[in-house]
Amino acid sequence: MSDRYYDTGAAGYDETCGFASLHFVPTLLKQAHLAPGQSVLDVATGTGSAAEAAAGIVGASGSVVATDLSVGMLDEARKRLAHLPNVSIRLRMGRH
């Protein structure tokens, strides 16, 4: 799907598709064996739900970098993650 698709639909993404994250993010993070103090790279963060959960696990001594190709998704992620000082957001440019 194109970046434009995600940019356009970003504001309503959590209401229409975000329910899936509620089911797979906890399992994903458990399988990653995250622990306090670790650094996490969240590729294709979307609206930031996994980054938010990861930040809670790694705590203040850890860090999370959330990346995405979609400016719209990152705008939504910024809103979600603004209160977390251990999270930074980066736009990933280009495709291979």
pLDDT at 46: 85
For strands 39-43 and 87-91, give the pairing: unpaired
pLDDT at 1: 45
pLDDT by residue (tens digit) across 11-32? 556 555 656 676 778 888 999 9
Query: What is the CATH number assigned to the segment(s) 3-91?
Result: 3.40.50.150
4: amino acid identity, one letter: R
72: amino acid identity, one letter: G
Contact 53, 29 (CB under 8 A): yes
Cβ atoms within 10 A of the Cβ of 10, count?
20
**What average pLDDT score do residues 65-73 get?**
89
Domain boundaries, the chain: 3-91
The C-alpha torsion from 22 through 67 and 89 to 26, rounded to 10°, is 20
The mean of the pLDDT values for the chain is 83
Q: 63 versus 75: which is more confidently predicted?
A: 63
| pTM of this structure | 0.78
pLDDT by residue (tens digit) across 34-61? 999 999 999 988 889 899 999 999 999 9
- Residue 39 CB-density burial (10 A; 0-12 exposed, 13-18 middle, 19+ buried): exposed
pLDDT at 2: 47
